[in-house]
Amino acid sequence: MTKILLLGCGNMGGALLKAWAANTDHDFTVADPAGPDLPDDVTLVGSVAELGEQHFDYLIVALKPQLIDDVLPDYLPRLKPSGTISSIAAGYSAAKLAAHAPGRSVVRIMPNLPAVIGKGVSGLYAHGSVPEAASSQIEQLASCSGDIVWVDSEDMLDRLTAVAGSGPGYVFEILRAYVDAAEQLGFSGEDARNLVLGTVRGTLELALDSDLSLEQLRNNVTSKGGTTAAGLNALNGQNEFSALIRETLEAAYGRAVELR
């Protein structure tokens, strides 16, 4: 049985662990002195000493980036010589992980918030030479919480972070502004929220089920001189909204590069 050590178990790590434990038959151990609630059959330890003589096939880092340099070296001796290091920590590069354990395989996973309900999009990046079996195993884990996209460089993982990793924050802000605008039109807070979220949910499902481009779908609901055309002209008549979205992604990507 594959033995996996999860180093740290905060909100995202805990959500992913639940999906992993429910959908695989691996043996999971969590090292976290905070003692979080864990799924059944997952072992919890508060220190490396509590691991005894155990060694693991995979060590997955789910710590805050600023803690990795202090904590990871204590647990690396528990990783088998053929083992793989993986990480879900944003802002901590695969090169830094590899520097802690020269010669080890390293795979970074960049999940986003909807992973907590199994609807996420995760980016995967294999640093250097990673055995096919190891990349396949990590891919299986990441797939438990949604869709996956492999990228071929850390720079592309930073770009993916700007699009998908930070993306839920942009969407929540757009939804917040949309609900606020509906309230300004006279709807109650509850009705405004239901109208906006219901509209977005239905529109998203329609797009996912359609082979048409997003542009064509937009055109299909836009009559010349009609209400939708008027609204779209106010939203993006001079490409202001398109430019703002581009600036949003560029800003997030730039910050990801700085953190690397």
Rounded CA-CA distance 105/58 in Å is: 10
Task: Give the pLDDT of residue 128.
Answer: 84
User: What architecture is the 3-165 domain classified under in CATH?
Assistant: 3-Layer(aba) Sandwich (3.40)
**Residue 192 DSSP one-character state:** H
| Stretch 4-10: mean pLDDT | 94
**Residue 60 DSSP one-character state:** E
Whether pLDDT at 256 is above 80:
yes
Specify which residues 56 forms β-bridges with: 79
- Cβ within 8 Å of residue 157, ≥6 positions away: 108, 110, 123, 125, 151
Residue type, 133: A
Residue with the larger pLDDT of the pair 11 and 230? 230
**Residue 239 DSSP one-character state:** S
Q: How confident is the model at residue 259 (pLDDT cuts 50, 70, 90)?
A: confident
Whether pLDDT at 91 is above 90:
no
Whether pLDDT at 260 is above 80:
no
Task: Give the pLDDT of residue 160.
Answer: 96
Q: How confident is the model at residue 235 (pLDDT cuts 50, 70, 90)?
A: very high
Whether pLDDT at 38 is above 80:
yes
167-259 under CATH 1.10.10.350, yes or no? no
Domain borders along the chain are 3-165, 167-259
Using alpha carbons, list the distances in angstroms from residue 140 to 47, 59, 137, 148, 247.
Answer: 28, 15, 5, 10, 34
